[in-house]
Amino acid sequence: MNIPQEVARRRTFAIISHPDAGKTTLTEKLLLFAGAIQIAGSVKSRKASRHASSDWMEIEKQRGISVASSVMQMEYRDCVINLLDTPGHQDFSEDTYRVLTAVDAALMVIDAANGVEPQTIRLLQVCRARNTPIITFVNKFDREVREPLDLLAEIEQHIGMDAVPFSWPVGMGRTFRGVFDIRNDRMRVFRPGQDRLGTDDDEFVQGLDNPVLTERFDSEFAKAHDEIELLSEAAVPFDQQAFLDARQTPVFFGSAVNNFGVQEVLDTLVERAPTPGPRQAQEREVRPEEPKFTGVVFKVQANMDPAHRDRVAFVRVSSGHFQRGMRLTVSRTGKEIRPNNVVSFLSQRRDLLDDAYAGDVIGIPNHGVLHLGDVLTEGEKLQFTGLPFFAPELFQAVEVADPLRTKQLRTGLTQLGEEGAIQVFRPAVGSTLLLGAVGQLQFEVVAHRLKTEYGVEARLLHSRYTMARWLSAEDPKELKRFIDGNLANIAYDVVDAVAFLATSSAQLRVAQELYPKVQFHALREHG
């Protein structure tokens, strides 16, 4: 096996968007294009069943399916593309954030009527912190939407990068005529159609100054023409390095549901998105083309059968060549595992699942041997840096209905905390544990799992806290002074890292002003 060659053809990315912007639709079109699925509607129906009920028990039933489709692998133009699902909506959780640590690029989908929306901004912050390159797709131009120039300005403002249009819309809604491919100087004429697969029958008209375009598309084209000219003078030229450094984002316009403008995005991913890069471990830098296997667990998901504590660890390969049945060592414990029945993800080719290289994801079923952040190697002891824990935004106090089960509650919460299902805080004052999450559903999942897996009936109660910040200070005396002076708001997480819990951003600001030598972190890195 030629590892460098296999690494060079990997592209691993996630789609980030606000609910309803068109992520599911776009995912499906990408899979259709690459031939990874044959039937339009397969991804959609999964989503429909997931969202049919607000009861998360339904989601539980779907877990088997959602494991399989949380990583989608497709081969396109000799590249192997891994698309990692970032659950949105009601299942928004810390997992969503952590998935972004396992990708090399992100595709941002924006609803052209709504612009950049809150959930996208949250996810963008994670991408920005990690300098993840971003490709932008502005969706739904078959509707009456906002002016493309305004959208471009808004993207730049939120993303903090230069937005470089690769294509430009001609008209919108009922007068949507197509998109002008700026880089290839040709217009792709719009033709609606849900499940058009190939683009062979698409019509192109060459040349921005071609009189045919003005004749056929009249005022829509005249407007687009002026805008494109304006941009060619005002906008910065595309620079590949600036894109890889997350200083520029290529922007595309289209309509996912009509499968229009999607191929350009896929082609850009293949041509421009980065191949898997080196990963920093505490001991050394790990290069993707190294012969020995290394990988890191970035997500742990409870599987179908709760009675068996059956979990799937999602491992992003960092280097080497994974083969089914090979012996791997868990760095944290030194334990050896031999994953034979790795979980299958959605892929059009069976053999892609049997071997894995840097950028790929393997799902290893286990009974709690693998924790979040664990590193798997062929024997070397390694700890990767950078698996982040995000400061929770929602808090609930947890009490046990039967005080005799307090021990089980603590055991359960410790394990669920290790798995990353929820964050558990032990306040410095009092004995009530606090749970912290970024998505409401996390609380429901934890309450349910405490009951079914640990036999604990937990009561979740209102908490007045709304923010947490991990604390550090160069001078330990300063930190101690802060802790002593704010004891009622101090808590410790599962690894005993100290945090300040605030009831409002004003309270946090005051604390920051009063103690300038203490640092407040919204993110804690594992290890």
Q: Closest approach of Cβ 105 to ligand G4P, in Å?
A: 18
Smaller CB separation from ligand G4P, 50 or 469: 50
Query: Does 192 carry a binding-site annotation?
Result: no
Stretch that binds ligand G4P, among 15-23, 172-180, 293-301, 401-409 (CB under 6 A): 15-23
Considering only 10, 23, 371, 405, the residue that binds ligand G4P (CB under 6 A) is: 23
Query: Does 87 carry a binding-site annotation?
Result: yes
> Cβ contacts of residue 212 below 8 Å, gap of 6+?
205
Smaller CB separation from ligand G4P, 20 or 355: 20
Packed helices 148-159 and 211-234: angle between N→C axes, nearest 10 degrees: 30
Of residues 256 through 315, those in contact with ligand G4P by CB under 6 A are 256-258
Considering only 24, 62, 86, 263, the residue that binds ligand G4P (CB under 6 A) is: 24
Q: Closest approach of Cβ 31 to ligand G4P, in Å?
A: 13
Q: What is the DSSP string of 341-377?
A: SPBP-EES-HHHHHEE-TT-EEEEEESSS--TT-EEE
Stretch that binds ligand G4P, among 14-22, 64-72, 205-213, 464-472 (CB under 6 A): 14-22
Smaller CB separation from ligand G4P, 31 or 391: 31
* Contact (Cβ atoms closer than 8 angstroms) between residue 15 and residue 266: no
3-state secondary structure string across 203-252: CEEECCCCHHHHHHHHHHHHHHHHHHHHHHHHCCCCCHHHHHCCCEEEEE
Query: Does 20 carry a binding-site annotation?
Result: yes
Q: Closest approach of Cβ 53 to ligand G4P, in Å?
A: 16
Query: Does 392 carry a binding-site annotation?
Result: no
Q: Closest approach of Cβ 57 to ligand G4P, in Å?
A: 21
3-state DSSP call for residue 43?
A: helix
Query: Does 142 carry a binding-site annotation?
Result: yes
Query: Does 35 carry a binding-site annotation?
Result: no
* Contact (Cβ atoms closer than 8 angstroms) between residue 449 and residue 421: yes
Of residues 114 through 143, those in contact with ligand G4P by CB under 6 A are 139-140, 142-143
Q: Closest approach of Cβ 257 to ligand G4P, in Å?
A: 3
* Contact (Cβ atoms closer than 8 angstroms) between residue 382 and residue 285: no
Considering only 12, 25, 119, 377, the residue that binds ligand G4P (CB under 6 A) is: 25
Torsion-angle region of 48 (φ positive above 0: left; ψ -120 to 50: alpha; else: beta): alpha
Q: Closest approach of Cβ 150 to ligand G4P, in Å?
A: 19
Nearest alpha-carbon partner for 87 in 24, 132, 35, 163:
24
Mark 50-89 with x for binding to ligand G4P (rule: CB under 6 A) and - for no binding: --------------------------------------x-
Query: Does 41 carry a binding-site annotation?
Result: no
Considering only 11, 14, 16, 17, the residue that binds ligand G4P (CB under 6 A) is: 17
The span from the CA of 156 to the CA of 152, in Å, is 6
Termini Cα distance of the chain: 33
Considering only 10, 12, 16, 22, the residue that binds ligand G4P (CB under 6 A) is: 22
Of residues 483 through 512, those in contact with ligand G4P by CB under 6 A are none
Amino acid letter, residue 130: R
The span from the CA of 294 to the CA of 336, in Å, is 14
Instruction: Give backbone dihedrals phi and psi of 365, rounded to 5 degrees, phi first.
Output: -70, 140
User: Using alpha carbons only, how large is the chain's radius of gyration in Å?
Assistant: 24
Stretch that binds ligand G4P, among 20-28, 78-86, 184-192, 348-356 (CB under 6 A): 20-28
Of residues 219 through 258, those in contact with ligand G4P by CB under 6 A are 255-258
> Cβ contacts of residue 232 below 8 Å, gap of 6+?
182
Specify the pairing of strand 322-323 against strand 328-330: unpaired
* Contact (Cβ atoms closer than 8 angstroms) between residue 403 and residue 412: no
Q: Closest approach of Cβ 165 to ligand G4P, in Å?
A: 18
Nearest alpha-carbon partner for 19 in 41, 51, 43:
51
Query: Does 321 carry a binding-site annotation?
Result: no
Kindly state the number of chain residues that form the binding site for ligand G4P, as judged by CB under 6 A.
17
Query: Does 139 carry a binding-site annotation?
Result: yes
Considering only 7, 14, 16, 21, the residue that binds ligand G4P (CB under 6 A) is: 21
Q: Closest approach of Cβ 75 to ligand G4P, in Å?
A: 23
Query: Does 407 carry a binding-site annotation?
Result: no
* Contact (Cβ atoms closer than 8 angstroms) between residue 141 and residue 167: no
Stretch that binds ligand G4P, among 18-26, 161-169, 188-196, 469-477 (CB under 6 A): 18-26
Residue 130 token pair: 């990690």
Query: Does 207 carry a binding-site annotation?
Result: no
Q: Which residues are annotated as part of the binding site for GTP?
A: 17-24, 85-89, 139-142
Q: Which residues are annotated as part of the binding site?
A: 17-24, 85-89, 139-142
Sites of contact with ligand G4P (CB under 6 A) = 17, 19-25, 88, 139-140, 142-143, 255-258
